[in-house]
Each structure stands twice: as structure tokens, then as C-alpha cells.
Amino acid sequence: MDYSFLGIENNPITVFTVEDKEKYLEDPNAIDKGIKELVDAINAIDVFFTMNACQGFLIEAERDDHCPETYVDFYVINEQYQLARMLLGSLASKFNALINCKVVYEADFDFISEDEVAANGMVKLRHSIEIFELPADMMKTTYEEIVGHIKKFAEVINKK
């Protein structure tokens, strides 16, 4: 396809690989323990890998030690975007106003040094699941239902 009408030479979307998934998931201790089950459910899907998460308010006694939001962000391997759309759509449909699912187009960059980055002209598609705060009893069951939904999704998708 000729992309010149967009002012670019080729498709600017970064394509992630299995090697990228391995690199991003090198340090499992970097994941907040309160959201680890959700992160693990997403990472169990062969073509998804998490890149950012925060347990936020999931554990009341630890909420001051975390950001005010509870979310998981992930990337997709080998352009399997239709699977990410299916997961996010199914979550938004099932959990309505209890969660927010979105895709963010963010500039990609290269590390120049430990403290310096430079834009490389590419764009990463960051898929995001944000859970809204609920009363404690509802929060626990809703979180468990979200994790269960994603685990079922993983079972079906990974069989294909």
C-alpha cells in the first residue's frame, strides 16, 4: 500500500514478537501482588503480554503505596489485534460501567542512553483495562469475575 498520502513511507505500527513478550516479562517481581492474578491471566494468552499494571485500590491497606487507579496495559504479538478487540469488547459488554477498556496510540521510541530516548516514528498500540472502584465486597467478586472471564478467553484462544 502507498502510505505517502499520510506523509509516511510505511505502516507506522510497531509489530511485537514472542521475543518482545519474553523481554517484557523478564522480571515477574515487578508486578504488584494485588493485580498479579489479572496480569497472569492476560499473559496466559499466547499473543498478549502486559507492559504496565497497578493494583491501585484493590488492597485497601496498601492503597496509599500505589497510584489511584487499578489497571493493566498490554501489547499484542504479530498483529493479532482482532483478538484484543474481541477481549476488550467482551469485557466492556459484560462489565458495563465497572471497567473502561481502550486502545491508546502512543509514540514509540529508542533508548539512546540510560536517561535519554528518541522518537523513532513508529506507534505502539497499548490496550488497557481499567477497573473502577467499588465497595469492598463488590470489588473482590468483580475482580475475580474479570480474571475468570480472561482465563476462559485464554483457554479458547490458545487452542486455535
Quick one: pLDDT at residue 6?
A: 72
Quick one: pLDDT at residue 67?
A: 80
- Relative orientation angle of helices 81-95 and 136-159, to the nearest 10 degrees: 150
State in Å, rounded, how far the first CA of the chain is from the last one.
29
C-alpha cell at 42: 492476560
Listed residue (88, 93, 77) closest to 13, CA to CA: 77
Q: What is the mean pLDDT of the chain?
A: 91
Contact (Cβ atoms closer than 8 angstroms) between residue 23 and residue 111:
no
CATH number of the domain located at residue range(s) 4-159 in this protein = 3.90.1150
* Distances, alpha carbon 129 to alpha carbons 10, 22, 64, in Å: 29, 21, 21
Handedness of CA 150, 151, 155, 160 (dihedral sign): positive
More confident residue, 123 or 57: 123
Q: With 90 as the cut, is the pLDDT of residue 58 above it?
A: no
What predicted TM-score, i.e. pTM, was given to this entire model?
0.89
More confident residue, 66 or 156: 156
> Could you tell me the residue ranges of all domains in the chain?
4-159
Q: What is the pLDDT of residues 69-121, one digit of tens each?
A: 899 999 999 999 999 999 999 999 999 989 999 999 999 999 899 899 998 88
Q: With 80 as the cut, is the pLDDT of residue 59 above it?
A: yes
Categorize the per-residue pLDDT at 47 as very low, low, confident or very high, splitting at 50, 70 and 90: very high
Quick one: pLDDT at residue 5?
A: 78
pLDDT (mean) for 10-24: 91
**b/e string for 22-55 if b means 16 or more Cβ within 10 A?**
eebeeeeeebbebbebbbbbbbebbbbbbbebbb
